[in-house]
Structure 1
């Protein structure tokens, strides 16, 4: 009996020793998690901590929508753009203007530089920033919802992004990319996938006109190939390589990764406007998929963009999903806006299948927003299927709030987490929404009670579920792990010895360490 007792005591001692080893090995993380919980009620400290915390990547961000309006105004002044005051839209000067009428005959159009200078300059500047973003938005008869204001901003600042001319667009894209890389670097984000449009409207229309009628995908694809799809994609891939060189020239990193923006790896997602005519949507998708195959080191996937609740998107949704499956096959990564809807925005039947069709028909590897999952038919089986396939949900909390009015406990992020679906946090359009990625981590902690380890796992998901190639992905994961180790060591060292010891003591005798 005494021998058995000694054996039990020995095993207990060994177990305790092993527990001590585990706790001590993880002591910086434990101390950081404990500080995080102490800061939970102090929102200022919580924001400051999350700004410093490594956040992996932003997998759902539209390049033009990420830029703050102030930058667009600065570029508009530099490039001599005009402001059409009747609807607060940036426009290029029409051809044949005179010195007396630099913005043409429209009396409401004046140079942006003139609009924001002089006695009323600050007032006009403020109104312009408000028009190009969600800042201080209040519903009105003209713009009755955040949804309408949000999606209406893109046309208002389009001229500052290069408009419909590729050379100007490529130059603007390079500037916008560098601008954002510097911002991401400042907030401890190491990887980003920017959504952008790579074929101008006239190119898409010309390709679409080659399709005599909407028919079987094989027939439409043959028509595009005869029209020169391969040549167009090859030319654009070469132009994108030149654009990336321009980006690297502007970053001017050399071997110094400490320069602003140099610590962030980036790729692009080719976006397709889902609210175009059917032939044009097919042509856009074919072009985008071919571009990913041609330049996978630059463009790593495709996505459909534009309001999911618009008439064309609703009408053609299932057709679009089948086209994506046909054109992307298994070698082109697909991320899709799906379920960016809510009760009252569309009729109930349109809430019931968008996410499932994106996953099961289109083969999407990532779903953007997914807010309407609670209205899907057999939600639990859909979540189980997403978990089985490893389909990641890109959660944009502020975007869901300002566009759909879905916030706090109404948002289904907790359902996804509880179901084991991989979750990442994303900005969607940081400039339009006036946020950064740290703000989304803050909202996840404040509104949904996520703890430090959950947020750390979400940050790692942003690399693990990126569209990077395997060796590149592992390199970024290793870099993130190193960043977290350094961050946790710093936070731990900043805490009083008593606080660290108390955190370790609690971890030693709890089941959660």
Structure 2
């Protein structure tokens, strides 16, 4: 009897080992790649290099102007003859009526940026300017006491280099910035991006907002915009966006050669709405953005509210904004929202316990940007369950949360979302301002939270699964990502010596301890 028991035990062990071996070797290249990645954890430079080459799906949360490195803005400002005000390190346009002798006007504190960064002191000026236009080497001062303040102040300083008051100059800048970024994404093995841009500015925006007058009912506000020419403004912008894409395609000059820089990256725009304007201005931007998505969904794929969530106007009008989005976007316009980009000390606790829930339940957001304050939400667990059930993804920007909110390590809720089954994607937010790239966010996820290769691979797939794409375009991008991972894993496995392969397979046979 005892002998039969031992035989049964041995047979069960053999069957279990065989099943485990079958599971491990079913996709041997992936198994070997995952095992090889685990061996790099103690060698951060090699781990970073590995992740730079790993396919990363896409970046769903990136502000186009904030993604560009300050060095590019300075180069463009020099090329375009822009000016520098040293008092606050702001790039300024040339004043109207400026002469060749005084191209930046009569104020001695404002000089051509080309002159400011030239000569014996040019490098010092250049370095200080780069620091001012980003968070590089940021050190708190009484004037700028936090990374939050430094971060948001940079946009006003480099804004003049991102275009002008006319659409032609703005379109040229958007095209240049987009081309700049898709080249960067291709270099680090990302294949898709959604760029947040402002698409309603100048006289059209002012005129439409003024037409709302004292109306406060959303239906009446929308009717006032329609009477003032909203549909025509949207139709005009739709044609401009088509021309903009053609302009970007001309810069790429692919001609069937996907190996050229930027040719292997697909992109869409998200119409961003500045949430810290007057009620009429915010409603106008939102109405225009929603209508524009309906007009050219293959170019402008969705909308998002931007600007500090903790500012006075945003806090005051937050619930109203969510209702406006629901009214204007309805079910057919994809919405991603910055929500819960808050932390204790930045705002009163009472302002932190409803933003993510309102974005999901009222505004119908399909993706949440940051979501850092989930732990302060009323009924957090029920909200997480609802997000999981609805398939609402969270765009996690680890460096941005660190720089802006000081939230890092175990304080960050990335593992909370994952343990609740909420889809997570990794994003840069503003790579240029934060001096990072998408690969760095994968590196931080692996270094700081111990995520393995398969978890990182799932983040990459989530970026395509939750992109604002048509189903046909999503299938194309998904197949492309699958092919990229297959090629990456084959190359990684093929480069390993046989002895290493055997060791990695044997290590994979032993399940990790819980």
TM over 0.5: yes
1:31-430 superposed matches below 5 A:
31-430=32-431
User: Is residue 2:432 matched to residue 1:431?
Assistant: yes
* CA RMSD of superposed structures (Å): 1.7
Q: Structure 2: which 5+ residue stretches go unaligned?
A: none
In 2, distance between residues paired with 1:20 and 1:156? 58
> Mean alpha-carbon deviation: is it higher for 93-102 or for 2-11?
2-11
Equivalents in 1 of 2:100, 2:399: separation in Å? Answer: 44
User: How far 1:104 sits from its partner (Å)?
Assistant: 0.3
Tell me the distance in 1 between the aligned counterparts of 2:512 and 2:182.
Answer: 40
1:492, CA displacement in angstroms? Answer: 1.4
Farther off after superposition, 87-96 or 501-510: 501-510
What residue in structure 1 maps to residue 494 of structure 2?
493
Aligned residues between the structures: 512
Task: Work out whether residues 276 and 312 of structure 1, in 8 Å CA contact, stay in contact via their aligned partners in 2.
Answer: yes
Q: Provide the secondary structure at the position in 1 that maps to 2:369.
A: strand
SS of equivalent to 1:327: helix
* Whole-angstrom CA distance in 2 between matches of 1:394 and 1:350: 21
Deviations 1:482-505 (A, max 9, x none): 111111111112222222111112
Q: Distance in 2 between matches of 1:252 and 1:17?
A: 53
More moved, 235-244 vs 157-166: 157-166
How do residues 445-456 of structure 1 correspond to structure 2 at under 5 angstroms?
A: 445-456=446-457
CA distance in 2, matches of 1:198, 1:291: 9
Describe the SS at the equivalent of 1:86.
coil
> Partners of 2:89 and 2:10 in 1: how far apart?
77
Q: Tell me the SS of whatever aligns to 2:440.
A: helix
Gaps of 5+ in 1: none
Q: Does 1:28 align with 2:11?
A: no
C-alpha displacement at 1:17, in angstroms? 4.6
Asked whether the equivalents of residues 35 and 508 of structure 2 are also in contact (C-alpha less than 8 Å), the reply is: no
Offset at 1:51?
Answer: 0.5
What secondary structure is seen at the aligned counterpart in 2 of 1:139?
coil
Query: Deviation at 1:38?
Result: 1.1
Give the equivalent residue in structure 1 for 2:467.
Answer: 466
Does residue 510 in structure 1 map to residue 511 in structure 2? Answer: yes
Deviations 1:383-418 (A, max 9, x none): 111111010000000000110111111111110111
| Cα distance in 1, alignment partners of residues 408 and 226 from structure 2 | 46
The alpha-carbon deviation at position 21 of structure 1 amounts to 3.6
The answer on whether the counterparts of 1:214 and 1:278 sit within 8 Å (CA) in structure 2 is: no
Cα deviations by residue, 1:27-70 (Å, 9 ceiling, x for unpaired): 11111111111111111111111111111100000000000000
Partner of 2:482: 481
Alpha-carbon deviation of 1:511? 7.3
Alpha-carbon distance, 1:8 to partner: 9.0
Shift of 1:214: 3.5
Q: Distance between the aligned counterparts of 1:214 and 1:206, measured in 2? A: 15
Q: Does the CA-based 8 Å contact 1:165-1:200 persist in structure 2?
A: no
- Deviation sequence 1:178-204 (CA, Å, 0-9, x none): 000000000000000000011113321
Q: Which has the larger displacement, 359-368 or 197-206?
A: 197-206
Q: Distance in 1 between matches of 2:373 and 2:12?
A: 51
User: After alignment, is 282-291 or 32-41 more displaced?
Assistant: 32-41
Please report how far the alpha carbon of residue 82 of structure 1 lies from its aligned counterpart in structure 2 after TM superposition. Answer: 0.6
Q: Note the C-alpha offset of 1:166.
A: 1.1
Moved more, 206-215 or 423-432: 206-215
Partner-residue secondary structure (3-state), 1:210 = helix
Shift of 1:351: 0.6
Answer with 276-285 or 93-102: which moved more: 93-102
CA distance in 2, matches of 1:365, 1:182: 28
2:207, 2:232 → 1: CA distance?
A: 14
Once residues 477 and 6 of structure 2 are traced to their aligned partners in structure 1, the CA distance between those partners, rounded to angstroms, is 50
Q: Deviations over 1:295-327 (max 9, x none)?
A: 001000000000000000000000000000000
* CA contact 1:224–1:283 (8 Å) conserved in 2: yes
Instruction: Answer whether contact 1:392 1:422 (CA < 8 A) is retained.
Output: yes
Give deviations 1:106-136, integer Å, cap 9, x for gaps: 1111111100000100000001100100001
Could you tell me the TM-score, scaled by structure 1's length?
Answer: 0.97
**2:400, 2:129 → 1: CA distance?**
21
Q: Quick one: distance in 1 between partners of 2:507 and 2:483?
A: 26
The answer (yes or no) to whether the contact 2:337–2:369 under 8 Å persists in 1 is: yes
Greater shift in the superposed pair: 123-132 or 96-105:
96-105
Cα separation, 2, equivalents of 1:449 and 1:5: 40
Indicate the SS of the match to 2:212.
coil
